Amino acid sequence: MATSNIRLSTADHISLLSNLSTLLASGVPILEAVASLSEDTKGNLKKILEALMEDLKQGKQVSDSFAAFPESFDKVTVNLIKAAEGAGTLDETLKDLRDYTQKEAEFIDKIIFALIYPGIILVLFASVLLVILIVVIPKIATVFLRLKVPLPLPTRIMIFMSTALLENTVWVVGGLLLITVAVILLYRKNRHLVLEVVFMLPVVSSLVRDIDLTRFSRSLYLLLRSGVPITTALELASQVVVRRQTSQLFAKAKEMVYSGKRFSEGIRQNKGIVPNIMIKLIEAGEKSGTLETSMADVANYLDYQVTNRLKAVTAIIEPALLIAVGLSVGGMMLAIIAPIYGLVGQIGGR
């Protein structure tokens, strides 16, 4: 069975962690717990539970079994479970992972929901534009060309676009498909390059930075709380970061920790990227020996900041999009109506 391609949905992931944690906390042996869960599941979750049951029978650990499913369990999850198995706190760690996964899912949902409305507006605008170019403009253009009415520049542009689209439909559709395929292939081959181009946008840049810092802080908190050494925790937590600049920041901080310095000293050199309050909280946590608690505070603070920023950005984008779409549609209508008024004026003058 090819395990590397098996992917769990977020709901199945949370269900597995929650149910397994509950059964283990109730004193049910792990093999019996996995067998019980396997009876009531289907799809990819059942495949994973069956593989886990076989591995447990062979004397393997849960972390070893989960490591065979990289699409379903990332390195943070695998290492947390490995540390918990060594400490005998697997049920507690599974519960923490469930809470972590829920928070991550909620965090991602906030981002997706903020993009839904602008996406709908853009799709509707593209649909209206296509209808105008394919249905309306050709009929109007035929009348104008027969009457040889002088046309303003916007109208000539609309007619040119409509003609180009209708006479070269195959080429236009083929070109769009080619561009789409090229972008997909480029993304798969060099994901960071494509993302970096997107992340260079003014509003997106700062928002992605805060999202990265939030996810990093939450991951680091969970790793440190489970007893993972800080050097290993930094390496694992930095893998959830998507922006290269932020990833390089934490890589340098990790090197400084390896050399015997504090984590806060490593990130203090990048005040332009890391908020000052994050540095202060980390410093306080290092001095008091409660760094994991400080990382939880940082994650909660940044989560709040990102949520507010998403609301603000959405509040600005929505009316801006409506105005832009309204002006665009209005301009297209004027490009159609203006020559008609000119024609009526010529007839009236006669």
Predicted pLDDT of residue 264: 84
State the Cα–Cα distance between residues 253 and 267, nearest whole angstrom: 6
Q: How much is the pTM?
A: 0.71
For residue 90, being part of any structural domain is answered with no
Cβ contact 84:90 at 8 Å? yes
| Residue 333 shares a structural domain with residue 187 | yes
| Residue 179 shares a structural domain with residue 326 | yes
Q: For residue 146, is it left (φ>0), alpha (ψ between -120 and 50) or beta?
A: alpha
CA-to-CA dists, residue 114 to 11, 107, 109, angstroms: 21, 11, 8
| Residue 119 shares a structural domain with residue 192 | yes
**Single residue among 30, 57, 73 that ends a domain in this structure:** 73
| Residue 163 shares a structural domain with residue 304 | yes
The DSSP secondary-structure symbol of 135 reads: I
Q: Which residues contact 218 (CB under 8 A, 6 or more apart)?
A: 100, 103, 104, 295, 296, 299, 303
Structure tokens at 13: 């992931």
Cβ contact 84:93 at 8 Å? yes
For residue 80, being part of any structural domain is answered with no
Query: What b-and-e string marks burial along 30-44, b requiring 16 or more CB atoms within 10 Å of the CB?
Result: beebbbebbeebeeb
pLDDT in tens, 66-100: 888 888 888 888 888 888 887 788 888 888 888 88
- Here the CATH number for the domain that contains residue 311 is 1.20.81.30
Cβ contact 210:301 at 8 Å? no
Task: With CA atoms as reference, report the closest residue to 22 among 105, 103, 113, 98.
Answer: 98
Predicted pLDDT of residue 195: 63
Question: φ, ψ for residue 62 (rounded to 5)?
Answer: -60, -40
Predicted pLDDT of residue 158: 83
For residue 225, being part of any structural domain is answered with yes
- Residue 338's CB is within 10 A of a number of other CB atoms, namely 14
State the Cα–Cα distance between residues 152 and 132, nearest whole angstrom: 18
Largest CA distance in the chain: 98
| Residue 157 shares a structural domain with residue 209 | yes
Q: For residue 42, is it left (φ>0), alpha (ψ between -120 and 50) or beta?
A: beta
| Residue 178 shares a structural domain with residue 269 | yes
For residue 94, being part of any structural domain is answered with no
Domain total of the chain:
2
Cβ contact 225:285 at 8 Å? no
| Residue 199 shares a structural domain with residue 61 | no
Placement of tokens 């925790």 in the chain = 233
Query: What b-and-e string marks burial along 68-79, b requiring 16 or more CB atoms within 10 Å of the CB?
Result: bbeebbeebbbb
Amino acid at 25: A
State the Cα–Cα distance between residues 72 and 51, nearest whole angstrom: 13
Domain hosting 238: range is 104-350
Cβ contact 321:122 at 8 Å? yes
For residue 124, being part of any structural domain is answered with yes
For residue 349, being part of any structural domain is answered with yes
Dihedral over Cα of 189, 193, 196, 197: its sign: negative
pLDDT by residue, tens only, the chain of 350 residues: 445 578 888 888 888 888 888 888 888 888 888 888 888 788 888 888 888 888 888 888 888 888 888 888 888 888 888 888 877 888 888 888 888 888 878 877 877 787 787 888 888 888 888 888 888 888 887 877 777 767 778 888 888 888 888 888 888 888 888 988 887 787 677 666 666 666 676 667 778 888 888 888 888 888 888 888 888 888 888 888 878 778 888 888 888 888 888 888 888 876 677 888 888 888 898 888 888 889 889 888 888 888 888 888 778 877 888 888 888 888 888 877 877 776 666 655 55
For residue 79, being part of any structural domain is answered with no
